[in-house]
Amino acid sequence: MIVALRSELARFLRTETVGGALLLIAAAIALLWANSPWSEGYLTLTDTTLPIPPLHLDLTLADWVKDGLLAIFFFVAGLELKRELVVGELADRKRATLPIIAAVGGVVLPALIAITIGFGVDGMDRGWAIPVATDIAFALAVLALTGSRIPATARVFLLSLAVVDDLIAILLIAILFTTSIAIGWLLAAAACFLGWWLAQHLRWHSPLIYVPLALVAWYALHEAGIHPTLAGVLCGLLTRVRPDQGEDEAPATRLEHLFQPVSAGVCVPLFALFASGVPLSAAVFGELFTDRLALAIIVGLLAGKTLGVFGTSWVAIRLGIAERPAGLGYRDMFALSVLGAIGFTVSLLVAELALANDEAAAELAKAAVLMTSMAASLIGSALLLRRGRAHQARRHAGAAAADE
């Protein structure tokens, strides 16, 4: 009975709508808590230190969530990326062309806009990377809630786009936020990843092998000066996605089913809880539309992301480089491009990393990400609902014509 209950709970947590809802609830709790008379308790919680002296790890609760639990989120993202690259939409070069081009456009244009608006502002040497990422869970949740009437190819396009987008964001995190590298620890991490690949190659299944390898790889990257969440991505990419003869499912599928509910139900909501507690006041709202750092993020995310994704897609289709997904019109693709401006998880992470030395700027940047992501979700939802009605009317008209 307990096993069945756990299985049902895991299935429930795997749905995009549930993951997105939990993320929103956690973010709302953080915002309300940080702006309530009990805000001191929120700060105390996030700043509480949980050290591990033998390992010389002296991290706060917020750091453990950001650097530790978020590695599970990136592990699931790595598994999804590997599956898409090997057996999914990105495995077919023709079908992969459009989401790849769209993702690149959705990274380059926001970055250019952020650099242009925020040129010379403190922190923008790396802060330009804040508006370049799309939140997979949040965007797919909005699509599941409001885009059920548009063709299923919409989800495939958005998922492929977000996966490539996340890969680029992960590479940016690795490049921009690695200051000095300890070669010895980097070699230790490489040995762990080699061990993971070898264990996969030899078809070993015991968690007694993989769990220590993952933990040591995470610690080695942390000590090497590289953001440790990359350990999750690399382990995901090194996991086998094709089942052997006689296997019910590949290791990547099994691990994704195991960890996706943990990521959606625990890791991402906790990160939202610890990252979204931004003090909001009249002054902060005023700065959102006057401060160049905030404007760079808002315009970069909302305008840059939307126009970057849609514009490059339109050009690629018109030039014959890529094909438009079956059943989707340009208006559908524009609505999906707006969802690309939901930057939540990775954008908040980049804001914390890029502006770690300026707490006030970091809080303003996070407020800009939160407000823009909310605006993108509302605008995208309205457009998807409208497109859904148009598709439904077309289907009804086709059915009526067939009956006649």
Pick left, alpha or beta for residue 331 (phi over 0 → left; psi -120 to 50 → alpha; otherwise beta). Answer: alpha
Angstrom distance (rounded) from CA 392 to CA 274? 41
Residue corresponding to tokens 């808002």 = 298
Angstrom distance (rounded) from CA 272 to CA 23? 6
Reported as a pLDDT band with limits 50, 70 and 90, residue 337 is very high
Reported as a pLDDT band with limits 50, 70 and 90, residue 54 is confident
Angstrom distance (rounded) from CA 336 to CA 306? 8
For residue 278, the SS3 value is coil
Tokens encoding 95: 């079908």
Q: Which residue has the higher pLDDT, 158 or 137?
A: 158
Angstrom distance (rounded) from CA 151 to CA 297? 31
Query: pTM of the entire structure?
Result: 0.79
Residue corresponding to tokens 């290791």 = 251
Tokens encoding 359: 């707490």
State the Cα angle at 141 between 107 and 287, rounded to 5°: 55
**Helix intervals (H) in 225-267:** 230-237, 251-262
Beta-strand ranges (E) seen in 117-192 are none
Q: Mean pLDDT over residues 37-55, rounded?
A: 89
* 296: nearest Cα among 120, 114, 116: 114
Angstrom distance (rounded) from CA 404 to CA 393? 17
Question: In this structure, are residues 117 and 301 in contact, taking their beta carbons and an 8 Å threshold?
Answer: no
Residue corresponding to tokens 């902060």 = 284
Angstrom distance (rounded) from CA 169 to CA 303? 18
| pLDDT, position 9 | 43
The string of pLDDT tens digits covering residues 210-222 is 999 999 999 999 9
Highest-confidence segment of 41-55, 79-93, 192-206? 192-206
The string of pLDDT tens digits covering residues 21-41 is 788 888 889 989 988 999 899
- Please state which of the ranges 154-158, 279-283, 288-292, 293-297 shows the lowest mean pLDDT: 279-283
Going by their DSSP bridges, the two strands 57-60 and 49-52 should be labelled as antiparallel
**What does each C-alpha distance from 107 to 171, 174, 321 come to in angstroms?**
12, 16, 19
For residue 380, the SS3 value is helix
Q: Which residue has the higher pLDDT, 52 or 194?
A: 194
Percent over 70 (pLDDT), the chain: 93
For residue 50, the SS3 value is strand
Residue corresponding to tokens 């009437």 = 149
| pLDDT, position 1 | 44
Reported as a pLDDT band with limits 50, 70 and 90, residue 400 is low
Question: In this structure, are residues 293 and 358 in contact, taking their beta carbons and an 8 Å threshold?
Answer: no
Handedness of CA 137, 143, 145, 151 (dihedral sign): negative
What is the four-CA torsion angle of 56, 59, 63, 64, rounded to 10 degrees? Answer: 70
The full length of the chain comes to 404
| pLDDT, the chain, mean | 85
The string of pLDDT tens digits covering residues 362-399 is 889 989 998 999 899 899 989 999 998 888 888 777 76
The answer to whether residue 287 scores a pLDDT higher than 60 is yes
The answer to whether residue 98 scores a pLDDT higher than 60 is yes
Reported as a pLDDT band with limits 50, 70 and 90, residue 4 is very low
Reported as a pLDDT band with limits 50, 70 and 90, residue 16 is low
Element (H, E) at 29: helix 16-34
